[in-house]
Amino acid sequence: MNKSDIADVLNEIATLLEIKGENPFKIRAYQNGARKLETLEEDLGQLVSEGKLKEVAGFGDALVQKITELHETGKLEFFEKLKASVEPGLVSMLEIPGLGAKKIKAMHKELGVDSIDALKAACERGDVAGLKGFGKKTEEKILLGIENRAAYGKRHLWWDAYEVAKPILAGLQALPQVVSASHAGSLRRKRETVGDLDFIVGSDDPKPIMDWFVAQEGVKEVTAQGETKSSVRFESGLQADLRVVPPGQFTFAQHHFTGSKDHNVSMRQRALARGLSLSEWGLKPVDDEDFSNSKVASNEEELFALLDLEYIPPELREGAGELEAAEKRKMPNLLEESSIRGVFHNHTTASDGRCSLEEMTEAAQSKGWEYWGTADHSKASFQANGLDDERVLRQIEAIEALNASKQFSTYVFAGVECDILGDGALDLEESTLMQLDYVVASVHISMTQTEDEMTKRLIRAIEHPATTMLGHLTGRILLRREGYKVDVSKIVDAAIANDVIIEINANPRRLDMDWRFWRRAAEKGLLTSINPDAHRAEHFDFVSAGVNTARKGWLGEVNVFNTGSLEEIRKAFAKKRTGLKRLQG
């Protein structure tokens, strides 16, 4: 386990001890330990192996033993036993917004409440309101929290969250009291899903800003309203946090609350190594008492420069080596959506799409794209009205006719999304596939195979001479279905060896292959194509979600096939289809 995982465990221990009503000093020791660990400058592994944890970090014996055990084994017997000793009903109550260990303990002790169901009954009887320090308002809030627990607990697709966030950000920026405003957190880092929305504002006059924020249209509940921090909840269960800081602190707060936590930990360590302390308040000499003499940063470029770093775009702030790259001035030149010149893997009314070939072409043209490509399903996907060989050949003729008509300036490539059968064979005749400009090979059936079977199956499909691209690598549906297990590294190697592209499926529910694999894969030489998998013309907009994934995967224009010109694409396709007259014209 790394520092930040261990710190999480220590915090959890503190919470469990608090529920059990243990000694406050002991609880505080775990909380302090967690904080200290997060800001520890030295390499944890080295301190552990040299037995210097106590001496350098000042941890007590008990903490040293626990941190060592967690670091070395990833587990902690003490923690497991502690978890087992607390009634699970009490722990589950932590999920209810506004309920911390203290309140849970009090209700357990005074009312015998030991589960969410019992808590609900106690609230309905009015027992909770009668407890010291609770009151009617708290009781109502708890009841509401129980009701909406399922929706509140869940994460949200970035795509949906961003739709909610856009007008909030615009609204904040339009307020006269606002000097600067930014979104933050996972929303700004463009993670595929977000827990909540975070906003940071710089202003000397927070009150009217808070008032506007909690009174916005669509707000279902105000979960917190303070002088400088408020939280609201929308109908979907999505929560939004707003923090207002003095304008001089804005950049530091913006950076801090953009995160990630792991990124912040390495930034603080880098500051410490320069005798500086970095926080959401500013950047000051370690020995200064407060941040009143903080260094000045009027934007994040300047903040990074204060630590001798090149600017790190929010997408790359995941604690995955971005500081090393920024120190060496080797930040990648990330892909921009404007570099995309066309898209592949799209469905029409021929299979399960909603728009005709012409409608899709017209939409691609109005996007300003030079080309787009069809990829309707093949016959094994019968529920999606997949095409057999005969229908594929007829569709090719229709596309050739459309291109020849010059009705549109956007060129149409003929492709198919060909099912990969259980054994890795493709669903259509090789002679048919070779007449298409390109083939996206995807799995939609027999998804319960073992990792080994699935890996072999995908590699066989990759080795098929007609395969141009591999579709949605794992078949995952975010927040709904895990993907099937595959050995990604073996598949990446096979794709490179066979000149096969692995798509970034840009449907916001898929974003597959995941950004976490792309940096390494691209270094090895893998190409991607950002494929909207559009089932109607509006889905062409998904491209921007795919661009987010590419950027999070450190990809630039050179790594992305569909940044190529029409001529370059034709040549690349023809290389896989040598001998076809049609493509040489």
What does the binding site for ligand DGT look like in residue numbers (CB under 6 A)? 38, 185-186, 191, 194-196, 198, 256-257, 259-261, 264-265
Q: Residues of 424-448 as b/e, b for ≥16 C-beta within 10 angstroms?
A: bebbbeeebbebbbbbbbbbbebee
For Ca ion, the closer of residues 185 and 415 by Cβ is: 185
Sequence-separated (6 or more) residues with CB below 8 Å from residue 268? 38, 39, 277, 278, 279
Shortest reach from residue 157's CB to Ca ion, in Å: 14
CA distance 16 to 80: 11
Smallest distance, Ca ion to C-beta of residue 184, A: 7
Q: Which is nearer to ligand DGT, 316 or 491 (CB)?
A: 316
Per the CB < 8 A criterion, the answer to whether 350 and 528 are in contact is no
Q: Which residues 436-455 are close enough to bind Zn ion by CB under 5 A?
A: 442
Q: Using CB atoms within 10 Å of the CB of residue 65, give its burial: 0 to 12 exposed, 13 to 18 middle, 19+ buried.
A: middle
Residue with smallest beta-carbon separation from ligand DGT: 259
Q: Which does 103 bind (CB under 5 to 8 A by kind): Ca ion, ligand DGT, Zn ion, none?
A: none
Return the number of the residue (94 or 143) whose C-beta is nearest Ca ion.
94
Report the SS3 class of residue 134.
coil
CB of 353 to ligand DGT, least distance (A): 33
Cβ at position 237, least distance to Ca ion in Å: 14
Residues 6+ apart with CB under 8 A from 559: 335, 518, 522, 526, 527, 528, 550
Whose CB is nearest to Zn ion? 442
C-beta closer to Zn ion: residue 319 or 353: 353
Q: Is 459 exposed, middle or buried (0-12, 13-18, 19+ CB in 10 A)?
A: buried
Alpha carbon distance, N-terminus to C-terminus of the chain:
58
Which residue sits closest to Ca ion, CB atoms considered?
185
Partner whose binding site includes residue 442, from Zn ion, ligand DGT, Ca ion, none (CB under 5 to 8 Å by kind): Zn ion
Give 30 or 257: the residue with its C-beta nearer to ligand DGT: 257
- Residue 204 CB, shortest distance to Ca ion, in Å, is 23
Question: Where along the sequence are the contacts to Ca ion (CB under 5 A)?
Answer: 185-186, 196, 198, 241
Which residue's CB is nearer to Zn ion, number 442 or number 467? 442
Residues 414/436, Cβ–Cβ less than 8 Å: yes
161 or 412: CB nearest Ca ion = 161
Tell me how far, at minimum, the Cβ of 210 lies from Zn ion, in Å: 46
Residue with Cβ nearer Zn ion (314 or 415): 415
Q: Which of residues 495-554 bind Zn ion (CB under 5 A)?
A: none
Left, alpha or beta for 135 (phi > 0: left; psi -120 to 50: alpha)? left
Report, in Å, the least distance between residue 452 CB and ligand DGT.
33
DSSP structure class, residue 571: H
User: Closer to ligand DGT at the Cβ: 38 or 503?
Assistant: 38
Residue 238 site contact among ligand DGT, Zn ion, Ca ion, none (CB < 5 to 8 Å, cut-off depends on kind):
none
101 binds, among Ca ion, ligand DGT, Zn ion, none (CB under 5 to 8 A by kind): none
Measured from the CB atom, the residue of 198 and 376 that comes closer to Ca ion is 198
Residue 259 binds which of Zn ion, ligand DGT, Ca ion, none (CB < 5-8 A, kind-dependent): ligand DGT
* Token pair for 478: 């975010």
**Cβ of residue 525: shortest distance to Zn ion, in angstroms?**
25
DSSP string, 4-64: HHHHHHHHHHHHHHHHHT--HHHHHHHHHHHHHHHT--S-HHHHHHTT-HHHHH---HHHH
Listing DSSP states for 338-400 in one string gives GG--EE--B--TTTT-SS-HHHHHHHHHHTT-SEEE--EEBTT-GGGT-B-HHHHHHHHHHHH
Distance, in Å, from the CA atom of 97 to the CA atom of 25, rounded to the nearest integer, reads 26
Residue 414 touches which member of ligand DGT, Ca ion, Zn ion, none, C-beta under 5-8 Å by kind: none
Give the tokens for residue 499: 């000149």
Cα distances from 240 to residues 214, 216, 321, 428, 444, in angstroms, run 10, 11, 29, 49, 37
- Asked whether the beta carbons of 475 and 447 are under 8 A apart, the reply is yes
**Pair 98, 138: CB distance under 8 Å:** yes
The β-bridge relationship of strands 219-225 and 229-234 is: antiparallel
Cβ(532)–Cβ(525) below 8 Å: no
Q: Which is nearer to Ca ion, 185 or 424 (CB)?
A: 185
Choose the contact partner of 304 out of ligand DGT, Zn ion, Ca ion, none; CB within 5 to 8 A by kind. Answer: none
Q: Pick the closer one to Zn ion by CB: 254 or 442.
A: 442
467 touching Zn ion, by CB under 5 A = no
Q: How far apart are CA 440 and CA 419, in angstroms?
A: 9
What is the closest distance, in whole angstroms, from the C-beta atom of residue 96 to Ca ion in the complex?
17
**Binding residue count for Zn ion, defined by CB under 5 A:** 1
CB of 471 to Zn ion, least distance (A): 5
Shortest distance, position 509 Cβ to ligand DGT, whole Å: 17
Write down the least CB distance from residue 185 to Ca ion, Å: 3
CA–CA distance, 365 with 101 (Å, rounded to integer):
58
Count CB-CB contacts under 10 A for residue 9.
21
Question: Among ligand DGT, Zn ion, Ca ion, none, what does residue 264 contact (CB within 5–8 Å per kind)?
Answer: ligand DGT
Looking at residue 501, its amino acid is I
Closest separation in Å from C-beta 259 to ligand DGT: 2
Any idea what DSSP says for residue 511?
-
CB nearer Ca ion, residue 183 or residue 472: 183
Q: Which of Ca ion, Zn ion, ligand DGT, none is residue 257 near (CB under 5 to 8 Å by kind)? A: ligand DGT
Contacting residues toward Zn ion, per CB under 5 A: 442
